[in-house]
Amino acid sequence: MGEGIIKLYDICPAAEAAGIENTEVTGVTDDTREVTEGSIFVCIKGANFDGHSAARKMLDSGAQLVVAEYDTGCERQVIVKNTRLELANLLSRFYSEPTKKFKLLAVTGTNGKTTTAHFVKHILTVLGKKCGCIGTAGNDTCSGELKPSQHGTPTVPRATVLYEWFKEMADNGADYCIMEASSQALDQYRIGNEKVAVAGFTNLTRDHLDYHGTMENYFQAKRRVFTMCKTAVVNIDDEYGRRLADEFSDIAVTYSVSGKADIYAGFIKMNAHGSSFMIVNEREHRACRVDIPMAGLYNVQNALCAIAMVTALGYDMTECAKALATLDGVDGRMNVVYRGDFTVITDYAHTDDALIKVLSTLKAVTKGRLICVFGAAGDRDREKRPMMGKAAEENADMLVITSDNPAHENPDDIIKAVLSGTAGTKPCKCITDRYEAIEYALDIAGKDDVIALCGKGHETYQIIGDEYLPFCEKDIVKDIMKRKGN
């Protein structure tokens, strides 16, 4: 809750203009289940429910005001153009505008957001700063205790939760907050129109088209964060990144692994355990070495983005590189969970582009066979499923196609869709039960083989129907190998 007694006119001036009584505000919500005496209820039109239809009932339940986009017929109402944006504005004022007490950083893109955000947080922490974090692999409000993203929690939580966490960060003395800015969160104004000190862009490939419909809509949702930022750090190895660099040329800092940019990588070397390269700042005519404990050209890109974002805040590039070298890794991103005669790696790769990047990286350092265990999520973009099958077949030596999070779909139908993208050029086994699929891969693995468990990464559950069933691949591999006497 905000500090002291909060009056309606303090956070909603339009209520005064409407002649509504200036009473104490006890909360702000868009959820009918959270309305209590003194709440402000914000009417949001969602995919399955329109909050406007509940406006009068919410007033009867104790709400002192409803905020709507059109006349609901209620006396105590304020009408605004965009209730999603107004929800974020009201929450910000209710919690005493917490983001004015620290600098907000955001990273957006299809792949690489989590890794880049963790790189940024690690660098700032090593440099002695308190940095909160909001994203897929966990949320840190500088309280000393991580708030895990679990049970289907989106990359960016509901605005009501997000601003409560912002308040916690401010109260805990945060200097910065790095957040993954997802396309849906931006499209739904969960972050409002907050002032972002630095925004980073990693890449844009096919994903979430079940929500956005087209790649252009997807791009426009991502683009919005760059209208909110002071500095835009963009990857010009990506065609959409080049577009952003052109559209925001006055604030853009570009980076690249394949050519000249404001910040670029040279002398790149990689092995199974990590990458090293020279980072060059063309604007300042400076260069230094960077070492990261993660393989893959895409992780070099993530490191460039993170270092560029932190140096945009005024920190020294060499010190940022030294800080990044002390990182152990990022949960669910190219994590080695077993190493013996063969190696088992888990990764969150759940798009065709991500599979290509992860598998091509592993293939280059695998002496034996590269066995890919993967599937596609249910209730999500169906058109990418055969594309994922094609990507896996072209970059691995053997495929084990299984369930990911089937949700409300028949998992066998999803597997058939993934399989339809393959050409039969590589050995392939379809096993519906993911546990059995992992067990099968462990059974057939030989000396110097690498098993890539793709799609789950940091997740410790599997969504089947409406249930979130415990499913931690790291623990599963450990248990199976223990039974085998390893």
Residue 330 lies in a domain: no
The residue among 181, 216, 198 whose CA lies nearest residue 109 is 181
**Among candidate residues 271, 303, 324, the one where a domain is terminated:** 324
Q: Is residue 448 within 8 Å of residue 368, measured between CB atoms?
A: yes
Residue 441 has pLDDT above 70, yes or no: yes
Instruction: Name the strand (E) or helix (H) holding 384.
Output: helix 384-395
Residue at 80: amino acid letter: V
Band (pLDDT 50/70/90 cuts) for residue 332 is confident
pLDDT, position 459: 84
SS3 of 403, please?
Answer: coil
Q: Are residues 71 and 54 in the same domain?
A: yes
Band (pLDDT 50/70/90 cuts) for residue 337 is confident
φ, ψ for residue 356, nearest 5 deg:
-60, -45
pLDDT, position 4: 67
The residue among 404, 375, 379, 403 whose CA lies nearest residue 388 is 375
**Among candidate residues 267, 292, 324, the one where a domain is terminated:** 324
Residue at 279: amino acid letter: I
Q: Are residues 363 and 425 in the same domain?
A: yes
CATH number of the domain where residue 420 is located: 3.90.190.20
Band (pLDDT 50/70/90 cuts) for residue 1 is very low
pLDDT, position 148: 59
Range list of β-strands (E), 252-409: 252-256, 263-271, 274-281, 286-292, 335-339, 343-347, 370-374, 398-401
User: Taking the alpha carbons of 299, 304, 309, 314 in that order, is the dihedral positive or negative?
Assistant: positive
Q: Is residue 110 within 8 Å of residue 353, measured between CB atoms?
A: yes
pTM of the shown model: 0.80
Q: Are residues 79 and 137 in the same domain?
A: no
Band (pLDDT 50/70/90 cuts) for residue 151 is very low
- Which of the given ranges, 53-67, 262-276, 283-297, has the highest pLDDT on average? 53-67
Higher per-residue confidence, 419 vs 379: 419
Q: Is residue 22 within 8 Å of residue 8, measured between CB atoms?
A: yes
Q: Are residues 287 and 390 in the same domain?
A: no
Question: Residue 270 and residue 95: Cα distance in Å, rounded?
Answer: 46
Q: Are residues 289 and 389 in the same domain?
A: no
Percent of the chain surpassing pLDDT 70 = 97
Question: Residue 398 and residue 322: Cα distance in Å, rounded?
Answer: 39
Distance of CA 371 to the CA centre of its chain: 26
Residue 187 lies in a domain: yes
Q: Is residue 205 within 8 Å of residue 112, measured between CB atoms?
A: no
**Among candidate residues 94, 126, 143, the one where a domain is terminated:** 94
Q: Are residues 207 and 156 in the same domain?
A: yes
Q: Is residue 199 within 8 Å of residue 105, measured between CB atoms?
A: yes
Higher per-residue confidence, 116 vs 336: 116
- The secondary structure of residue 227, as a DSSP letter, is G
Q: Which domain holds residue 219?
A: 98-324
Range list of β-strands (E), 129-170: 131-134
Residue 150 has pLDDT above 50, yes or no: no
User: What's the structural domain count of the chain?
Assistant: 3
Mean pLDDT across 390-396:
96
Helical ranges in 265-316 per DSSP H? 297-311
Q: Is residue 275 within 8 Å of residue 300, measured between CB atoms?
A: yes
Q: Is residue 42 within 8 Å of residue 67, measured between CB atoms?
A: yes
Least confident of 72-81, 171-180, 294-303: 294-303
Percent of the chain surpassing pLDDT 90 = 75
The residue among 480, 472, 476, 365 whose CA lies nearest residue 148 is 472
Q: Is residue 126 within 8 Å of residue 32, measured between CB atoms?
A: no
Q: Are residues 55 and 201 in the same domain?
A: no
- pLDDT tens digits, one per residue of 17-44: 989 999 999 999 999 999 999 999 999 9
pLDDT, position 116: 95
- pLDDT tens digits, one per residue of 224-243: 999 999 999 999 999 999 99
Q: Are residues 164 and 105 in the same domain?
A: yes
CATH number of the domain where residue 41 is located: 3.40.1390.10
Higher per-residue confidence, 295 vs 445: 445
- pLDDT tens digits, one per residue of 86-136: 999 999 999 999 999 999 999 999 888 989 999 999 999 999 999 999 987
Residue at 472: amino acid letter: C
Averaged pLDDT score across all residues of the chain: 92
CATH number of the domain where residue 265 is located: 3.40.1190.10
Q: Are residues 107 and 194 in the same domain?
A: yes
pLDDT, position 348: 85
- pLDDT tens digits, one per residue of 36-93: 999 999 999 988 899 999 999 999 999 999 999 999 999 999 999 999 999 999 999 9
Residue at 251: amino acid letter: I
Residue 164 lies in a domain: yes
Q: Are residues 191 and 288 in the same domain?
A: yes
- pLDDT tens digits, one per residue of 338-373: 989 999 989 988 889 889 988 998 898 899 999 999
Residue 329 lies in a domain: no
Residue 136 lies in a domain: yes
pLDDT, position 3: 58
Question: Residue 421 and residue 399: Cα distance in Å, rounded?
Answer: 12
Q: Are residues 163 and 306 in the same domain?
A: yes
Band (pLDDT 50/70/90 cuts) for residue 461 is confident
Residue 303 lies in a domain: yes
Q: Are residues 46 and 187 in the same domain?
A: no
Q: Is residue 314 within 8 Å of residue 284, measured between CB atoms?
A: no
- CB hemisphere CA count around 356 (13 angstroms): 11
Residue 394 lies in a domain: yes
Question: Residue 79 and residue 338: Cα distance in Å, rounded?
Answer: 57
- CB hemisphere CA count around 45 (13 angstroms): 7
Residue 329 has pLDDT above 80, yes or no: no
Question: Residue 418 and residue 387: Cα distance in Å, rounded?
Answer: 7
Residue 2 lies in a domain: no
